[in-house]
Structure 1
Amino acid sequence: MTFDPKPFAARRARLAEQLRSAGGGVAVIPTAPERVRNRDSDYPYRHDSYFHYLTGFTEPEAVLVLIAGEAETKSILFCRAKHEEREVWDGFRYGPAAAGERIGADEAWPNEELAERLPKLLGDQPALWYSLGHDSGWDARIMEALNSVRASVRSGIAAPADIRDVRVPLDEMRIFKDASEIALMRRAAEITAAAHRRAMQATRPGRMEYEIEAELLHEFRRSGSQFPAYTSIVAGGTNACVLHYNDNNQLLRDGELLLIDAGCELDSYAADITRTFPVNGRFEGAAREVYALVLAAQKAAIAACHIGSNFNSPHDAAVQILAQGMLDLKLLSGSLDEVIETGAFRRFYMHRTSHWLGLDVHDAGEYKHMGRWRDLEPGMVLTIEPGCYIRPADDVPEAFWNIGVRIEDDVLITANRPDVLTSAAPKCIKDIEACMAEAQG
C-alpha cells in the first residue's frame, strides 16, 4: 500500500494534546530491537507496535521523541544513518533526512547523536513519558540521560520530576481504530478468510497437519501479508482440546474434526480467525451436535456486540448458551443457574470469549474502568471465540471424547449492528460442507 503519513501525524498530535492536558513533558518511544535467532541469523524483524502506531516507520534502531510543551509540539525522529556498504549487505536505509520527510517529523537525526541530544531535550521538562520496565537496555539508556541532566543542576537546568508511563494514554488511543486502521484490518480479515477456505478445501484424511498449515501460509504471503499474526494452530482430533497446540505434525484421520486458529498480519495489523470442520467434509453425530452448540453460542455473543453492552456481555451471552447445551448433551448435571454460578461449565469452556484486536493479536487497552467492564463503543475491534473442549472421562459419554470446537470472528463495533470483518470464512454447517465438497469434485 502507498504510505500515507497523515494518520500517524494525527495520532502524534492527539498524544501530544493528552500529554499537555496532564502537565506536558517529553515522550520517548523506541522501536523494538533486532533479535538473534542463532549464530549469524536474526529472527525476522518486527517493529514495536507503539512506535509504529505513531510513525509508520519500519526500520530497526529508531526512536521517536515527542515534545509536548505549552509553547510547542515537536516530533523528532532518530534513525540509522545512510550507509552504502551496509545497504549492500542488509538493504535500503532511508537515513534521517528521507525518513523525517517520509513520516512528517519536525526534525530527524542519526541515532548516533541520541546520547548527546536526549539530555538536552529532557532539560527543564516537567515529566518524562516512557515505558519504564519494558526493555532493560533502554531503561539503562534513559537513566543515563536523566543522570546527565541532573549533573547540570548547577547550570540551572532541572531534570524531569516525574517519569510517567506513556503506554497509558497510548493504550486508550489504540482501542479506537481510525479509518486507515479499519481498512487494513478489513483487508487482513479478507486474506485470512481466503486462507481458511483454502485450508478447508485442502483437508482430507491422510494428510498431515503441517500440510494444511502450509496452505494457510501460502495464501497469506501470496496475498501480500508480511507475516502470520501468530503461530498457526492446526489441530486435528484430540489436539483440538489443547488450547495453544502448535506442533502441527500429526496425521489427519477420517471421522475427526480439524480446528484451525490462524490469522495474517498485514502492514502490522492482525486478523484472528478460528474454524473447526470435519476432516472428511461431513459433520456427523456428536461432533455435529457440539459444533451446532458452539455456533449458537457465537451467534448470541456477536448479537451482544452493540452500543449499550459492555465488554463482558458477549461472554455472558455465550456462557448461557454453552452451559445449557452442556446440560442438554449430558456433559453436566444440575440446573443452569448452578452450572453458571459454580463455574462447572469451565470444565469444557475454560477461556474467555473476547480480546481486543489491532496492531497486536491481543491488542493494547484496558478491559475494565474502576473495576467495571468498559462499555462497547464504535471503533473498537474485538474477537468473539466461544469453544467447547471435551477430554475423555468416566462421566462423559464416550461419543463426545476428544471433540474440540472453537469458532472465532473479528467484530468491529459500529453505531448500528456489529460488523463481522471475517464473515467470508465459512462457518455454517452447510457452507463448510459445500466448500469442502467443491474441492473434492
Structure 2
Amino acid sequence: MGIELNEYRLRREQLMAKIGNGTAIFRSAPMATMHNDVEYVFRQDSDFYYLTGFNEPEAVAILAPHHEEHRFILFLQPKEPEKETWTGYRCGVEGAKEIYGADEAYSIAELDEKLPQYLINADRIYYHLGKDRHFNHVILSHWQRLMSQYQRRGKVPVAIEDTRPITYPMRLVKSTAEIVLMRKAAEISAQAHNRAREFAQPGVYEYQVQAEIEHTFRVKGAMGIAYPSIVASGANACILHYIENDRQMQDQELLLIDAGCSYGYYNGDITRTFPVGGKFTPEQKALYELVLEAQLKAIAEVQPGKPYNEFHDIAVCVLVQGLIDLGLLKGDLEEIIQQEKYKPFYMHRTGHWLGLDVHDVGVYKHNEETWQILQPGHILTVEPGIYISPNIQSAEGQPEVPENWRGIGIRIEDDLLVTETGHEILTAAVPKSVDAMENK
C-alpha cells in the first residue's frame, strides 16, 4: 500500500506545467533535536514528500521545466558508510536516479555550485520562504546575484513567487492512491478508539488509555501518532488541545479522546466522548445529544457543489438553538449567532481539511465573499463541540451558567470523503450513539 513512482512523476509534471519557464525549489525538513544530541524521529516536509516520495533530511528538490537535460534534480546526502552506521542507510546520488526518478542528482554540498545552472534561464523562482532562515538566505543570495546581471543579460528570474498557491490546490484533491492510504489511517484510528472505550473505566489514568491507543496504532502497522493524543477526562475536556494526559479518571465523568494515526504519511483524526462509568448524567446526556444532532446535520451538508462554510453554519444553528432550549443562552437565534455570543461554549470551526497534514493545506475562502466549493476527492473533518469550562465567563447579556453544567466538554469528530454523489464517512466504524457510548 503506497504511492507509486509514476504518481509522483505526474505530480511534478503537473506542477511544472503550471510554472512554465520558472524554476521551483523545495527544501526537505531538517532533523529536529529533542535534547542535546538526541533527535526526534524524522518527519519529511509534506510538500517535499508529495512531489518526490523522498524521506531523508538535508535534501533539496529542483523542478526546472525549461532545462534542456534535467527537469527534476535532487541534492541530497551522499552515501557514507561510516555515518550510515550511526544514522541509517541513505539513498545516495545513484539511488536518487534509480529509485526516485531524478534526472540528475548531486551531493547537497554541491548546491551552491550547481544551483545557478537551473536558475539562470528561468523567468522567476518559485520558493516558499519558510522557517529555515539559513536556506531562505541561500535562495535570496542566488537570486540577488542573478538580478545583478539583469542589465547585462536581459534574462534572469525577475521575481520570487510562493509555491503554496500551486501545491495546495493540487494536494487538496486526493488521488485514488491517497484515498486508499487515508481509509487505512481511518481504519486503524477507529480500532484504537474502540479499544480505548473498552479499556477506560474509573480509576484508570488518562495516560494508560493513551498507551492503549498508541499501542494499537503501531501493532496495526501505522507509523505512529498523527498528532499528540488528547485523552481528557472531566474538566480537562474543556481544554481544546489538552495533552498532559496525567489525571486519574473518576465515575460520573466524561472522557474526551481526540486521537488519530499516521499511515504512509496520511492521517486519521477522530474524536469521541463517553461516560467513564458507563452512564451519562442528565446534563451530560442533554449536551451529548445536542452535539450529536449538530454533527449529524452538519455531515448531511457535506455534498459536492456546496460551499465549505455550510456544514459549519448548520452546526452552529443547531448548537445555539439547543443551548437556548436548555436555558444556557437567551435571546434571538440569529442575533446570538451574528454577535457570536455562543463563543464561550463553542469557540472553533466545525472542521478542517485532512491529508498529509492533520490540518491539511488548501484555502477555505477565495475572498471575503466566496467560499471554497466542495468537490469529489476533498477530505475533511466534521467536529462540533460544546465546552463549559468550570470558569466559563458568559457573554454580555447572557445568563450565568449554573454549577451543574460546568466542567463538561464534548466533541464528536469524523473524517469525510466528498464523493461524486455525496460523502463517505471514513471513520464510521467508531460508534457514537448514546446507547453505544453507555454500553461499552
Post-superposition offset of 1:348: 0.6
- Match of 2:134, SS state, is helix
Alignment check: 8 A CA contact 1:205 1:279 kept? yes
5 Å-filtered alignment, 1:257-296, equals 257-296=254-293
Cα distance in 2 between the residues matched to 1:70 and 1:116 = 17
| Structure 1 pair 301–196 and aligned structure 2 pair: CA distance change class (3 A) | same
Q: Is 1:396–2:401 an aligned residue pair?
A: yes
Paired AA for residue 387 in structure 1: G
- Match of 2:329, SS state, is coil
- Compare 248-257 and 385-394 and name the one that shifted more: 385-394
Post-superposition offset of 1:34: 0.8
Structure 1 gaps of 5+ residues are 437-441
- Match of 1:88, SS state, is helix
Cα distance in 2 between the residues matched to 1:303 and 1:164 = 39
Paired positions, count: 432
Which deviations, in whole Å up to 9, do the C-alpha atoms of 1:15-47 show, x marking residues without a partner? 011112xxx210010111111221120121111
Paired AA for residue 105 in structure 2: A
Aligned equivalent of 1:238, options 212, 235, 248: 235
Q: Which residue of 2 aligns with 1:10?
A: 10
Q: Which residue of 2 aligns with 1:198?
A: 195
TM-score normalized by the length of structure 2:
0.94
Which deviations, in whole Å up to 9, do the C-alpha atoms of 1:294-330 show, x marking residues without a partner? 0000001000000231110010110111011101111
- Compare 33-42 and 45-54 and name the one that shifted more: 33-42
TM-score normalized by the length of structure 1:
0.94
CA RMSD of aligned residues (A): 1.8
- Match of 1:344, SS state, is coil
Which deviations, in whole Å up to 9, do the C-alpha atoms of 1:386-439 show, x marking residues without a partner? 0001124682233212110000011111111211111111211222333x2xxx
Paired AA for residue 343 in structure 2: R
- Match of 2:42, SS state, is coil
5 Å-filtered alignment, 1:221-232, equals 221-232=218-229
Alignment check: 8 A CA contact 1:68 1:74 kept? yes
Structure 2 gaps of 5+ residues are 393-398
Q: Is 1:210–2:207 an aligned residue pair?
A: yes
Q: Which residue of 2 aligns with 1:28?
A: 25
Alignment check: 8 A CA contact 2:3 2:178 kept? no
Cα distance in 1 between the residues matched to 2:199 and 2:293 = 26
Give the share of equivalent positions with the same residue, in percent.
45
Paired AA for residue 236 in structure 1: S
Cα distance in 2 between the residues matched to 1:94 and 1:353 = 42
Q: Is 1:93–2:110 an aligned residue pair?
A: no
Q: Which residue of 2 aligns with 1:180?
A: 177
Q: Which residue of 2 aligns with 1:385?
A: 383
| Structure 1 pair 368–390 and aligned structure 2 pair: CA distance change class (3 A) | same
Paired AA for residue 373 in structure 1: W
Which deviations, in whole Å up to 9, do the C-alpha atoms of 1:181-236 show, x marking residues without a partner? 11111100001011111111110000111111111110111111112111111100
- Match of 2:62, SS state, is strand
5 Å-filtered alignment, 1:54-133, equals 54-69=51-66, 74-133=71-130
- Match of 1:430, SS state, is helix
Aligned equivalent of 1:408, options 392, 407, 413: 413
- Match of 2:64, SS state, is strand
Alignment check: 8 A CA contact 2:230 2:241 kept? yes
Q: Which residue of 2 aligns with 1:354?
A: 351
Cα distance in 1 between the residues matched to 2:72 and 2:126 = 14
Q: Is 1:161–2:166 an aligned residue pair?
A: no
Cα distance in 2 between the residues matched to 1:163 and 1:74 = 19
- Match of 1:347, SS state, is coil
- Compare 393-402 and 316-325 and name the one that shifted more: 393-402
Paired AA for residue 252 in structure 2: G
- Match of 2:207, SS state, is helix
